[in-house]
Amino acid sequence: MNEEEIKPDKVLDCIGLYCPIPIFNTTQEMEKIEPGQVLEMITDDPAAVQDIPRWAKRAGHQFLKWFKEDEHFHFLIRKG
């Protein structure tokens, strides 16, 4: 019943930053990790809920999931 916990290899804090900065920063961080590793990006920009999954698909990465914790959105992306 309990969803498998995905452990990110790296966490990127984009709180207080608004489009397009979270995508720009996420792109830079994805270049630093190995294929198959998972990046967790955290932001308080509601536009990211639409933007990040689309960006991940375009960039060739696997968008795993997003969830909201307090006022922050958490995105899990596996490098393609």
19 as an active site residue: the answer is yes
DSSP per position, 2-71: PPPPP--SEEEE-TT--TTHHHHHHHHHHHHSPTT-EEEEEE--TTHHHHHHHHHHHHT-EEEEEEEETT
Active-site pick, 10, 17, 19, 53: 19
Q: Which residues are catalytic?
A: 19
